[in-house]
Amino acid sequence: MKQDLPNIPGPIGVFDSGYGGLTILKQIRGVLPEYDYIYLGDNARTPYGTRSFEVVYEFTRQAVTKLFEMGCHLVILACNTASAKALRSIQINDLPKIDPSRRVLGVIRPTVESIGEITHSRHVGVLATDGTIKSESYPLEIHKLFPDIIVSGEACPMWVPLVENNEANSTGADYFIKKNIDQLLNKDKLIDTVILGCTHYPLLLPKIQRFIPENIQLVTQGEYVATSLQNYLQRHPEIDKKCTKGSTTQFCTSEAKDKFTESAFVFLNEVISVQRVLLE
Ligand code: DGL
């Protein structure tokens, strides 16, 4: 175990490359309001979606280590790109060296667990970042549980920048949203369920709903991740007792504080105070 990690109970860490994970944090706090949380956004280096496996792994490992140093025993990667490209490597290579008793969980598995009950046609679409689509994590995870489901994916490289730059409601956003939805649905006409496989996308929901046919079910992740975390903590009392319960949230960013406070308001509808941290 690393000597300098605090070994007393601490908050649950929630990590994302930027603001997207706030959509997950919001739902987690709704289901588990009694816990303490630290949210960390790597806003200085977002987006992760177009970066290589090596870089996403390195950045995510740095963020997880930082959250451990800040007292977390359990960290949720509230980012599909990090869950797709870094989660398994961190669990297998790093946790045994850092501290085998700490836990890191992702958002892909909890999302796909529900899919078998939602799709009737057994044809599912996934909208996500380039990195998540190329990693094939969604088809791999879906097929572990439901081998009969046919999965098509579409990378939406412009969607995260639209959200990060506060353009989610602009008319300019319509072009990119319609284009990627049409491309996905053209790949498989039998799709009846579409997973929004990026934590930024709920901010684009009003526009996505406008361009997606009404008979298609949209799956957003927050509630599935929150319920799955609740079940996890019930099944793992040894982890639960290391998570403090004081209903507080600390916000941290690797970028300047002011921008985070302003943008976080869009996601949480709440004025927050934030601390800058250095990730290295
Ligand atoms: N919000 C992250 C996700 O869920 C990705 C954003 C990014 O590209 O950094 O995939």
How far, in Å, from the CA of 237 to the mean position of ligand 1? 30
Pocket perturbation via mutation, ligand 1, pick of 45, 59, 79, 154 by most ligand atoms within 8 A of CB = 79
Average pLDDT, the chain: 95
The answer to whether 154 and 212 are in contact (CB under 8 A) is: no
**pLDDT per residue over 22-64, tens digit each?**
999 999 999 999 999 999 999 999 999 989 999 999 999 999 9
- Residues near 54 by Cβ (< 8 Å), separated by ≥ 6? none
Residues designated as active site: 79, 198
How far, in Å, from the CA of 238 to the mean position of ligand 1? 30
How far, in Å, from the CA of 224 to the mean position of ligand 1? 17
Predicted local distance difference test score (pLDDT) of residue 6? 86
Predicted local distance difference test score (pLDDT) of residue 267? 84
**pLDDT per residue over 218-269, tens digit each?**
999 999 999 999 999 999 999 999 999 999 999 999 998 988 898 888 888 8
Confidence of residue 132 (pLDDT cuts 50, 70, 90): very high
In this structure, the residues whose C-beta lies within 6 A of any atom of ligand 1 are 16-18, 20, 46-49, 79-81, 129, 132, 160, 198-200
The answer to whether 79 and 15 are in contact (CB under 8 A) is: yes
> In the β-sheet with 217-219, what is the strand arrangement from edge to edge?
150-155, 123-128, 193-196, 217-219
Tell me which residue has tokens 């019930």: 234
Residues counted in the chain: 280
Whole-number percent of the chain with pLDDT over 70? 99
Q: Ligand 1 atom closest to Cα of 78?
A: 4
Q: Ligand 1 atom closest to Cα of 107?
A: 4
Both tokens of 93, joined, read 């290579």
Nearest CA-CA partner of 12 in 232, 224, 256: 232
Confidence of residue 2 (pLDDT cuts 50, 70, 90): low
**pLDDT per residue over 67-76, tens digit each?**
999 999 999 9
pLDDT exceeds cutoff 60 at 89: yes
Q: Ligand 1 atom closest to Cα of 197?
A: 4
Average pLDDT (82-93) is 96
